Amino acid sequence: MTWEELDWAALDRLRALFLKSEPVKEPYWRNESDLASYDFTYAQRIGWKWDAVLAELGRLGWTPPSGPLLDWGCGSGVASRCVVDAFGAERFGRVRLHDRSGLAMSFARRRAAGRFPGLDVSMDPVGEEAGGTLVVSHVLNELHQDDLPRLMRAVRSAECVLWVEPGTHPVSRGLIALREKLREEFHVVAPCPHRGACGLLPEARERDWCHFFAKTPTEVFTDGRWARFGQRAGVDLRSLPYSWLVLDRRPVSEWAPHRARVLGFAEVFKPYARVDVCHVGATERIDVAKRTHAAVYKSLKATPPPPEIPLPGVEGVEKAEVDEADPASEG
Ligand SMILES: C[S@@+](CC[C@H](N)C(=O)[O-])C[C@H]1O[C@@H](n2cnc3c(N)ncnc32)[C@H](O)[C@@H]1O
């Protein structure tokens, strides 16, 4: 596939379908050209979100257990390719691809086999038995409720689950609801700092959602073809919001009280930065004062912000912050 070969009729049709964000009962991949054009464009954008998730898992020092991988709702297979790239084909040995579209499974199988020679890659039309690692990517908003039990059987058969979805309010809330159902059965690796009930579940927090932003690769800004694609497709490539959940049957310890997960973006004002954080004590909106927490304040200006910050107000954090502060940023 090249930029010149993109099937715009297919991309426009798919985009309209994705924007509707409602359950789709029938397979919508019509031919190879659909999948190849998707894989070259929209799927790359999804891959950038997976890169952010996998980098964060690396930072947390987490790796999946050895054993097979099942990519559920694989589409062109970008998610499993990212995961195998990150952890190595040897770890999984075998990759199975499940989709209700035979065309999608077959496309994804060819792409994975081409990328990872020697890896055992097969199609799995049933998709109920994950065994090792289950990968789910951008499926929830189009999943028909009749199909959720089948997906949940795959989840419950897995040792660990890596799940990435768009960063919209309804999809994030859907993921939070599933987390609630699964958190006693699995340990929660990320993004949550604990395994307890989600801090966004209380009624007063219904308008909030758990979302994050991935970094757009520099080449997207320097390669005019991406800019033209973004304009033509009506997609803002600078913004990559996602929600995610990683579960593991192996024990995972909760974060120390001073560690806070940063949600979304910070709003940075002159004297302070306002940011939503999640920590073992709560999910809350906090103001980080520039005067007392200069380094944390400064870090929150980044786009996207850091994945975690030391929680101001917790013993030891103020002292550490003042010591680390860059004197030039004070004032
Ligand atoms: C938006 S695409 C995402 C594809 C891929 N996971 C990715 O991240 O690029 C959603 C995929 O889920 C598949 N899908 C939707 N409902 C499904 C179901 N009930 N069973 C299996 N696959 C399903 C669709 O066929 C499609 O390939």
CATH code for position 129 = 3.40.50.150
Report the run of H or E that residue 19 belongs to, with start and end. helix 8-20
Residues 232 and 203 in one domain: yes
φ and ψ of 196, to 5 deg: -70, -175
DSSP secondary structure of 132-175 = SEEEEES-GGG--GGGHHHHHHHHHT-SEEEEEEE--HHHHHHH
Kindly state whether residues 37 and 185 are assigned to the same domain.
Answer: yes
> Which of 220, 248, 276 corresponds to the end of one domain?
248
Residue nearest atom 24 of ligand 1, based on CA coordinates? 73
Is the minimum distance from the CB of 81 to ligand 1 under 6 angstroms?
no
User: Does ligand 1 lie within 6 Å of residue 43's CB atom?
Assistant: yes
**Among the three residues 197, 217, 248, which one is the final residue of a domain in this structure?**
248
Who contacts 297 (Cβ-Cβ below 8 Å, separation ≥6)?
Answer: 268, 272, 273, 288, 289, 290, 329
Is the Cβ atom of 79 under 6 angstroms away from ligand 1? Answer: yes
Q: Are residues 312 and 176 in the same domain?
A: no
pLDDT in tens, the chain (331 residues): 899 999 999 999 999 988 887 888 888 999 999 999 999 999 999 999 999 999 999 999 999 999 999 999 999 999 999 999 999 999 999 999 999 999 999 999 999 999 999 999 999 999 999 999 999 999 999 999 999 999 999 999 999 999 999 999 999 999 999 999 999 999 999 999 999 999 999 999 999 999 999 999 999 999 999 999 999 999 999 999 999 999 999 999 999 999 999 999 999 999 999 999 999 989 999 999 999 999 999 999 999 999 999 998 776 555 445 444 443 333 3
* Ligand 1 atom showing the smallest separation from residue 77 Cα: 5
Question: How far is the C-alpha of 159 from the C-alpha of 166, rounded, in Å?
Answer: 24
Cβ atoms of residues 137 and 161 within 8 Å: no
The answer to whether the predicted template modeling score (pTM) of the entire model surpasses 0.75 is yes
Distance of alpha carbon 195 from alpha carbon 11, whole angstroms: 39
> Is there a single domain that holds both residue 85 and residue 174?
yes
Cα–ligand 1 centroid distance for 74 (angstroms): 6
The candidate with the shortest Cα–Cα distance to 211, out of 276, 164, 167, is: 167
> 283 in helix, strand or coil?
strand
Range of the domain at 27: 3-248
Report if residue 61 sits inside a domain: yes
Q: Residue 254 falls within a domain, yes or no?
A: no
Work out the end-to-end distance of the chain between its first and last CA atoms, rounded to an integer number of angstroms: 53
* CA-CA-CA-CA torsion sign (318, 319, 320, 322): positive
Ligand 1 centroid from CA 180, angstroms: 23
